[in-house]
């Protein structure tokens, strides 16, 4: 149950003036520079077996601003620079906790251009947001209202690779409350022919967003490949055109997944999915594009945080559980079931199964068994010879 208000980010698009765009671009560059300088300093100190924390890098930032080569850091708001040092501290904390890899340097082209402002660096009055070092408020498209009576605690401004500007407003949302308990539970098998197959037998089509724009994307990429290397204006325009197509694909995919996960969380108390290693699966060059377009990892991420908000439970069944080869009627385990076989008949009971629907039913049964037996326990199943087998694995460690 939620005992405190949920911190929720509301993202909006805005259109900066030329002066605001120039100021924000300078801020993005300074944020990236400070992050890289602090990372280099901490890496060198680590090689000398010394530890450098946030307070030490904050003192370094003060010293850098007094040098001739880095005096321009004083021309932008100091809050985003301090925030990027805190982000670096968090990255090292995750690294030492073995939850992430070693922090990497930020690139001008590949890294996300963003700056974070706390309360002392912005004003929010009557629906108008003004950032530090700016005389005019941002021209924000308020596509949805903020919760009544709340004040933003953090504002993050970003620019994507397609040249679009966004502002993310973080605030306490008292409207996020657990939903009334429901009796329904559902098992979900993800796939490529169908994006989702539910244990109820419902199949949700795979929109294949990338395939719809594949011809346009290929044409734009061919044009980009013919441009001379470097920072020329023509190459920059061609690169932005490719980015806009990718952004269009990503927006459609994200919208579809949001609608889908919201519906599943509202309708079901318990949701059982499979703990897939998508990172390894995309190494299959024949299926990598289709798997990436399906966005299974993003689907799981959205499902988990919405379930946490609404008081629902998401159970991830072990990836080695043979959900497709196990008969959901009698529990017989098939010896072999190639991927191209979409329907099969059980050797023991004669039941004909749809491969995906059968997998979803088995995942639901396994997930419900987990709630009874404990995390990580696979349910009992029978081999074709009739012998019962149970296998136990240690609980999955959450990152």
> Catalytic residues, which ones?
189, 274, 356
Residue 368: which of 184, 182, 178, 181 has the closest Cα? 184
Whether 382 and 330 have beta carbons less than 8 Å apart is answered as yes
**Rg of the chain on CA atoms, in Å:** 25
DSSP per position, 139-176? -EE-SSPPPTT---SEEEEEE-TTS-EEEEEEEEETT-
Residue 145 DSSP label = P
Whether 224 and 238 have beta carbons less than 8 Å apart is answered as yes
β-strands 343-345, 313-317 pairing = unpaired
β-strands 352-354, 381-382 pairing = unpaired
Whether 79 and 120 have beta carbons less than 8 Å apart is answered as yes
Who's near 330: CB < 8 A, 6+ residues apart? 346, 348, 349, 351, 382
Facing residues of 129 across strands?
124
């Amino acid at each position: 149950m939620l005992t405190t208000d949920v911190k929720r980010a509301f993202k909006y698009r805005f259109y900066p003036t030329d002066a605001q765009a120039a100021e924000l671009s300078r801020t993005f560059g300074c944020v990236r520079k400070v992050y890289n300088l602090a990372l280099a300093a901490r890496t060198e100190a680590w090689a000398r077996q010394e530890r450098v924390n946030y307070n030490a890098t904050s003192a370094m930032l003060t010293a850098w601003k007094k040098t001739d080569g880095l005096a321009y850091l004083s021309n932008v708001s100091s809050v985003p620079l301090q925030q990027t040092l805190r982000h670096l501290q968090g990255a090292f904390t995750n690294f030492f906790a073995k939850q992430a890899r070693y922090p990497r340097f930020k690139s001008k082209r590949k890294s996300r251009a963003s700056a974070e402002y706390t309360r002392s660096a912005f004003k929010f009055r009557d629906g108008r947001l003004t950032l530090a070092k700016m005389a005019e408020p941002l021209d924000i498209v308020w596509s949805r209202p903020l919760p009544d009576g709340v004040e933003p605690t953090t504002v993050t401004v970003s620019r994507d690779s397609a040249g679009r500007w966004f502002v993310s407003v973080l605030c306490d949302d008292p409207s996020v409350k657990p939903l009334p308990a429901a009796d329904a539970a559902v098992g979900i098998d993800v796939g490529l022919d169908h994006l989702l197959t539910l244990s109820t037998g419902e199949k949700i089509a795979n929109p294949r967003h990338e395939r719809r724009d594949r011809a346009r994307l290929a044409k734009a990429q061919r044009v980009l490949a013919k441009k001379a290397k470097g920072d020329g204006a023509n190459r920059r325009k061609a690169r932005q055109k490719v980015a806009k197509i990718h952004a269009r694909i990503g927006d459609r995919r994200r919208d579809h997944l949001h609608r889908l996960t919201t519906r599943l969380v509202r309708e079901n108390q318990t949701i059982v999915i499979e703990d897939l290693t998508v990172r390894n699966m995309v190494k299959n060059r024949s299926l990598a594009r289709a798997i990436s377009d399906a966005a299974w990892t993003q689907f799981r991420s959205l499902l988990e945080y919405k379930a946490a908000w609404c008081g629902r439970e998401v159970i991830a069944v072990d990836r080695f559980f043979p959900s497709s080869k196990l008969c959901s009627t009698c529990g017989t385990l098939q010896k072999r079931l190639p991927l191209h076989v979409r329907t099969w008949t059980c050797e023991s009971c004669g039941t004909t199964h749809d491969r995906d629907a059968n997998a979803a039913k088995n995942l639901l049964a396994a997930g419900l068994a987990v709630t009874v037996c404990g995390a990580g326990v696979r349910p009992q199943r029978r081999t074709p010879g009739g012998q019962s087998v149970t296998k136990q694995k240690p609980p999955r460690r959450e990152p």
